[in-house]
Amino acid sequence: MATQATTASTSRVGILPVMFAVVLGLGVITLTGHVQAAALHDAAHDVRHATGFPCH
Amino acid sequence: MTQPTMCATRPASPATKPMLSRILTSALFAGAAAGLIAALLQLVFVQPVLLHAELYESGELVHFGGDVVSAHPELPGMFSDLFRDALSVIFTMLIYTGYALMMIALMSVAEGNGHKIDGRTGVLWGLAGFIAVHLAPGFSLAPEVPGVAAADVAARQIWWFATVAAAGVAMWLIAFGGTLISYVIAAALLLAPHLIGAPEPDVFTGPVPTEIGALFAARAFGIGLAAWVLVGAFAGYFWRHESQRAEAAA
């Protein structure tokens, strides 16, 4: 019973941090590169162009 | 060396925490380092082209107007607008930290499957990242100089994300698939977005000379390649470094 619980938790902890990091990274990219709010757009304008993102 | 109190209360957290903190730590270092270098390269090589294009976008210079226009107008000097440049540096570092987060998360998965991750193999990861995130969407949605005519931004963003996702899966299949069918699927995923086609403008209204637009796209790709190779190499290096520290502490 104890062994089962340990196996289940180790296989789960492998994927959770990975998914968290991927979602966090995707959030950062979306916010900095793609959200069209005026303040964000203006601040990130040059970078969005230079990085090849669709800008405006 | 793990905290005994946490071990007693929640068995899963000691394993989860080092893994996640290792990803976050190495991604922050890799993203900040690669982003800073990429930002400086952009300011030196891309920003002057962008500022030149903005003279046409604003109408200060007119291409094929009544007068002959010099190809070397007086441009604002480098670092003339420190606030604007500082914002660019911060956002470039943020963007490459975001990419580093995703890349290192995937690196940890590959390492778990027995693939070697270090600064050297990181270069290949960087090349694959450049192809997936920069070259693949840019092949049909070329890096836009300011003032260029383009389709609706929402449509282009949807196409951009879909193309990056397809190309990302394709690069993973090429790297780790190992069967003929995986290469065929990868090729189809790389080709499909461009056969379907990117959203295009109805009419051309760009006032910027093609010479500037072409140079801008070339420079954006060049700096993008350098930045991605750097983020891959740094990501591999820092991930290796953090893993070795974790092993030493265990």
pLDDT digits 0-9 by tens, B89-111: 999 999 999 999 999 999 999 99
Interface test with B, best of A13, A15, A16, A35 (most B CBs within 10 A): A13
Residue B204: CB atoms within 10 Å: 8
Interface test with A, best of B91, B106, B164 (most A CBs within 10 A): B91
- Say yes or no for a CB contact (<8 Å) between B141 and A54: yes
The 10s digit of each residue's pLDDT in B18-35 is: 889 999 999 999 999 999
The reply to whether B165 falls in a domain is yes
Tell me the residue range of the domain where B165 lies.
23-61+81-249
Q: How confident is the model at residue B1 (pLDDT cuts 50, 70, 90)?
A: very low
Residues 6+ apart with CB under 8 A from B80: none
Average pLDDT score over residue span B109-137? 96
Q: What is the pLDDT of residue B74?
A: 82
Q: What is the pLDDT of residue B241?
A: 93
Residues 6+ apart with CB under 8 A from B179: none
Instruction: List A residues 3-42 in contact with B (Cβ-Cβ < 8 A).
Output: 5-6, 9-10, 12-14, 16-22, 24-29, 32-34, 36
The 10s digit of each residue's pLDDT in A10-50 is: 344 478 999 999 999 999 999 999 998 888 988 899 999 99
Q: What is the pLDDT of residue B28?
A: 97
The 10s digit of each residue's pLDDT in B150-192 is: 899 999 999 999 999 999 999 999 999 999 999 999 999 999 9
Helices (H), chain B: 4-9, 13-45, 47-57, 82-112, 119-130, 136-140, 153-176, 180-196, 210-249
- Say yes or no for a CB contact (<8 Å) between B95 and A29: yes
The reply to whether A7 falls in a domain is no
The reply to whether B6 falls in a domain is no
**φ and ψ at residue A51, rounded to 5 degrees:** -90, -5
Q: How many domains does chain A have?
A: 1
Contacts of A26 in chain B (CB under 8 A): 98, 102
The reply to whether A21 falls in a domain is yes
A21 closest CB neighbour out of B95, B102, B143: B102
- Say yes or no for a CB contact (<8 Å) between B16 and A16: yes
**φ and ψ at residue B99, rounded to 5 degrees:** -65, -40
Q: How many domains does chain B have?
A: 1
Burial class (CB in 10 A: 0-12, 13-18, 19+), A28: buried
Inter-residue contact B206 to B147 (CB < 8 Å): yes
Question: Which of these, A4, A8, A41, A1, lies nearest to B87 by C-alpha position?
Answer: A41
Contacts of B24 in chain A (CB under 8 A): 21
ipTM for the predicted complex: 0.84
Q: Where is pLDDT greater, at B98 or B148?
A: B98
The reply to whether A53 falls in a domain is yes
Q: What is the largest CA-CA distance in chain B?
A: 81
The reply to whether A42 falls in a domain is yes
**Mean pLDDT, chain B, whole residue set:** 90
Residue B208 CA to residue B55 CA, distance in Å, equals 9
Structure tokens at B140: 């049909």
Tell me the residue range of the domain where A43 lies.
15-56
Average pLDDT score over residue span B46-70? 87
Judged by average pLDDT, the poorest of B74-83, B94-103, B122-131, B206-215 is B74-83
The reply to whether A4 falls in a domain is no
B50 closest CB neighbour out of A32, A44, A46: A46
Contacts of B16 in chain A (CB under 8 A): 13, 16-17
The reply to whether B236 falls in a domain is yes
